[in-house]
């Protein structure tokens, strides 16, 4: 702002109306897929090589249940995929307000039902903000014993 009365007025107007924000709708990174991925698959990253694959809540390991984001396109194994870690991801038919967890029945899928039973992991991944958009909010997994 200018160091004069006009600058003060401009600052007050911005303060009154709210400062503009230029946040992206999605934030992500590129990674190599070690298996075929479908657009929207919840993904985990292997610590051994940094490649991504379908996350699973049913295999009894924290690594596979640690969701790093969602595949932003369908790719084959060894291809590069953009993994969305925060923001909005269009995933299909949703009910606004529903919470979503990593599914324990299908690798890479999400569900409104939290897994239960020994050896499974509960990983909250987000909330439906509209009928088609998931607001990504990934939490660390909790392994059930």
Instruction: Return mean pLDDT, the chain.
Output: 91
38-65 pLDDT, tens digit each = 999 999 999 999 999 999 999 888 999 9
Residue 59's φ and ψ, nearest 5 degrees, are -95, 0
> Does position 122 have pLDDT exceeding 80, yes or no?
yes
14-41 pLDDT, tens digit each = 777 775 566 668 899 999 999 999 999 9
Residue 22's pLDDT is what?
60
Residue 60's pLDDT is what?
82
- DSSP for 34-91, please give it: SS-B-TT-EEEE-TTT--EEE--SSSS-HHHH---EEESS-B-TTSEEEEEEEEEEE-
Full-prediction pTM beyond 0.85? Answer: no
């Amino acid at each position: 702002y200018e160091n004069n009365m006009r600058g003060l007025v401009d600052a007050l107007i911005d303060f009154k109306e709210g400062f503009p924000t230029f946040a992206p709708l999605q934030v992500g990174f590129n990674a190599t897929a070690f298996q075929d991925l479908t657009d929207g698959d919840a993904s985990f990253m292997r610590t051994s090589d940094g490649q991504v694959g379908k996350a699973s809540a049913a295999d009894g390991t924290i690594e596979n249940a640690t969701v790093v984001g969602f595949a932003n396109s369908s790719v084959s194994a060894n291809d590069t995929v953009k993994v969305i870690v925060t923001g909005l991801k269009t995933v299909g038919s949703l009910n606004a307000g529903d919470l979503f967890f990593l599914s324990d029945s299908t690798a890479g899928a999400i569900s409104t039902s939290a897994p239960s039973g020994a050896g499974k992991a509960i990983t909250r991944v987000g909330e439906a903000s509209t009928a088609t958009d998931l607001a990504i909010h990934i939490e660390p997994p909790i392994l059930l014993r």
